Structure 1
Amino acid sequence: MSANIVIGGFWGDEGKGVVSAWEAFRTASLGVFRGCGGANPEHGMFIDDHYVKVNQLPLGFILRECMIGLGPGTAVDPVKFLYEVKRFHLTPEKVRVDPRCPIITAANIADEQANSNMKAIGSTFSGTGIAMAHAALRIAPIAEDIHELQPYLDDVPALANKLAEKGAINLEGTQGTFLSRYHGEYPNVTSVDVTAPSVAAGVGLNFRAVKDVIVAVKALPTREGSGPLGDVEEFTPEEMKRLGIEEYSSIVDLETGEHQIRRKAKSIDDALLKRIIMLNGANKLALTFAEQYDPEVQGITKWSGLTNKVRELIERIEDATNVEVSLVNTGKEFDCIASKQDDLPAVSDALKRRLRSFIE
Structure 2
Amino acid sequence: MANVVVVGSQWGDEGKGKIVDWLSERADVVVRFQGGHNAGHTLVIDGVSYKLSLLPSGVVRPGKLSVIGNGVVFDPHAFVAELARLEELGVRVTPDCLKIAENTALILSLHRELDGYREDAASNSGTKIGTTRRGIGPAYEDKVGRRAIRVMDLANLDTLPAKIDRLLTHHNALRRGLGHPEVGGDAILNELSSVADRILPFADRTWKILDERRRAGERILFEGAQGTLLDIDHGTYPFVTSSNTVAGQAASGSGLGPGAIGYVLGITKAYTTRVGEGPFPTEDTGEIGEFLGTRGHEFGVVTGRKRRCGWFDAVLVRQAVSVNGINGIALTKLDVLDGLAEIKVCTGYRLDGETIDYLPASQGAQARVEPIYETLEGWQETTRGARSWSELPAQAVKYVRYIEELIGAPVALLSTSPERDDTILVTDPFHD
TM-score by length of 1: 0.85
Tell me which amino acid in the other structure corresponds to 1:144.
M
CA distance, structure 1, for counterparts of residue 61 and residue 388 of structure 2: 23
Match of 1:65 in 2: 63
Q: Using CA pairs under 8 Å that are at least 6 residues apart, name the structure with larger relative contact order, 1 or 2.
A: 1
- Evaluate the alpha carbon distance shift between residue 47 and residue 67 of structure 1 in structure 2; reply closer, same or farther with a 3 A threshold: closer
Q: After the TM superposition, which residues 46-195 of structure 1 pair with which residues of structure 2 at under 5 Å, given as runs?
A: 46-47=44-45, 51-86=49-84, 87=86, 88-116=91-119, 120-146=128-154, 147=196, 148-165=198-215, 166-195=217-246
Deviation at 1:169, TM superposition (A): 0.8
Match of 2:423 in 1: 337
3-state secondary structure, aligned to 1:297: coil
3-state secondary structure, aligned to 1:32: strand
- Evaluate the alpha carbon distance shift between residue 89 and residue 221 of structure 1 in structure 2; reply closer, same or farther with a 3 A threshold: same
Deviation at 1:341, TM superposition (A): 5.5
- Evaluate the alpha carbon distance shift between residue 251 and residue 173 of structure 1 in structure 2; reply closer, same or farther with a 3 A threshold: closer
CA distance, structure 1, for counterparts of residue 79 and residue 422 of structure 2: 28
Match of 1:304 in 2: 390
Matching residue within 300, 309, 317 for 1:273: 317
CA distance, structure 2, for counterparts of residue 228 and residue 308 of structure 1: 34
Tell me which amino acid in the other structure corresponds to 1:85.
L
- Evaluate the alpha carbon distance shift between residue 133 and residue 3 of structure 1 in structure 2; reply closer, same or farther with a 3 A threshold: same
3-state secondary structure, aligned to 1:135: helix
Please list the CA deviations of residues 130-164 of structure 1 after superposition, one character each: whole Å capped at 9, or x if unmatched: 11111111222111123221110111112222222
Q: Is the 8 A contact 1:47 1:333 kept in 2?
A: no
Residue 285 (structure 2) pairs with residue 285 (structure 1): no
More off after superposition, 94-103 vs 133-142: 133-142
Tell me which amino acid in the other structure corresponds to 1:154.
D
3-state secondary structure, aligned to 2:51: strand
- Evaluate the alpha carbon distance shift between residue 237 and residue 90 of structure 1 in structure 2; reply closer, same or farther with a 3 A threshold: farther
- Evaluate the alpha carbon distance shift between residue 160 and residue 303 of structure 1 in structure 2; reply closer, same or farther with a 3 A threshold: farther
Please list the CA deviations of residues 229-265 of structure 1 after superposition, one character each: whole Å capped at 9, or x if unmatched: 23x352437852586345123465xxxxxx4421011
- Evaluate the alpha carbon distance shift between residue 331 and residue 64 of structure 1 in structure 2; reply closer, same or farther with a 3 A threshold: same
Deviation at 1:167, TM superposition (A): 2.1
Q: Is the 8 A contact 1:157 1:204 kept in 2?
A: yes
Please list the CA deviations of residues 68-108 of structure 1 after superposition, one character each: whole Å capped at 9, or x if unmatched: 00111111111122233342311100000010000011221
More off after superposition, 107-116 vs 290-299: 290-299
TM-score by length of 2: 0.72
Match of 2:414 in 1: 328
- Evaluate the alpha carbon distance shift between residue 218 and residue 235 of structure 1 in structure 2; reply closer, same or farther with a 3 A threshold: farther
More off after superposition, 321-330 vs 188-197: 321-330
Deviation at 1:299, TM superposition (A): 2.2
CA distance, structure 2, for counterparts of residue 319 and residue 153 of structure 1: 45
Residue 59 (structure 2) pairs with residue 8 (structure 1): no
Deviation at 1:2, TM superposition (A): 3.2
More off after superposition, 329-338 vs 112-121: 112-121
More off after superposition, 323-332 vs 299-308: 299-308
Residue 289 (structure 2) pairs with residue 234 (structure 1): no
RMSD: 2.3
3-state secondary structure, aligned to 2:132: coil
CA distance, structure 2, for counterparts of residue 167 and residue 251 of structure 1: 31
Match of 1:356 in 2: none
More off after superposition, 207-216 vs 109-118: 109-118
CA distance, structure 1, for counterparts of residue 122 and residue 27 of structure 2: 37
Identity %: 29
Q: After the TM superposition, which residues 234-273 of structure 1 pair with which residues of structure 2 at under 5 Å, given as runs?
A: 234-236=284-286, 239-241=289-291, 244-250=295-301, 252=303, 259-266=304-311, 268-273=312-317
CA distance, structure 1, for counterparts of residue 417 and residue 241 of structure 2: 28
3-state secondary structure, aligned to 2:262: strand
Q: Is the 8 A contact 2:327 2:410 kept in 1?
A: yes
- Evaluate the alpha carbon distance shift between residue 58 and residue 293 of structure 1 in structure 2; reply closer, same or farther with a 3 A threshold: farther
Q: Is the 8 A contact 1:300 1:337 kept in 2?
A: yes
Q: Is the 8 A contact 1:2 1:164 kept in 2?
A: no
Q: Is the 8 A contact 2:41 2:301 kept in 1?
A: no
- Evaluate the alpha carbon distance shift between residue 81 and residue 335 of structure 1 in structure 2; reply closer, same or farther with a 3 A threshold: farther
Match of 2:346 in 1: none
Tell me which amino acid in the other structure corresponds to 1:209.
A
Residue 256 (structure 2) pairs with residue 205 (structure 1): yes
Deviation at 1:303, TM superposition (A): 3.7
Q: Is the 8 A contact 1:18 1:59 kept in 2?
A: no
More off after superposition, 199-208 vs 46-55: 46-55
Q: Is the 8 A contact 1:46 1:333 kept in 2?
A: yes
- Evaluate the alpha carbon distance shift between residue 205 and residue 294 of structure 1 in structure 2; reply closer, same or farther with a 3 A threshold: farther
- Evaluate the alpha carbon distance shift between residue 62 and residue 50 of structure 1 in structure 2; reply closer, same or farther with a 3 A threshold: closer
CA distance, structure 2, for counterparts of residue 198 and residue 72 of structure 1: 11
CA distance, structure 2, for counterparts of residue 85 and residue 55 of structure 1: 11
3-state secondary structure, aligned to 1:200: helix
Match of 1:319 in 2: 405
Q: Is the 8 A contact 1:85 1:91 kept in 2?
A: no
- Evaluate the alpha carbon distance shift between residue 238 and residue 286 of structure 1 in structure 2; reply closer, same or farther with a 3 A threshold: closer
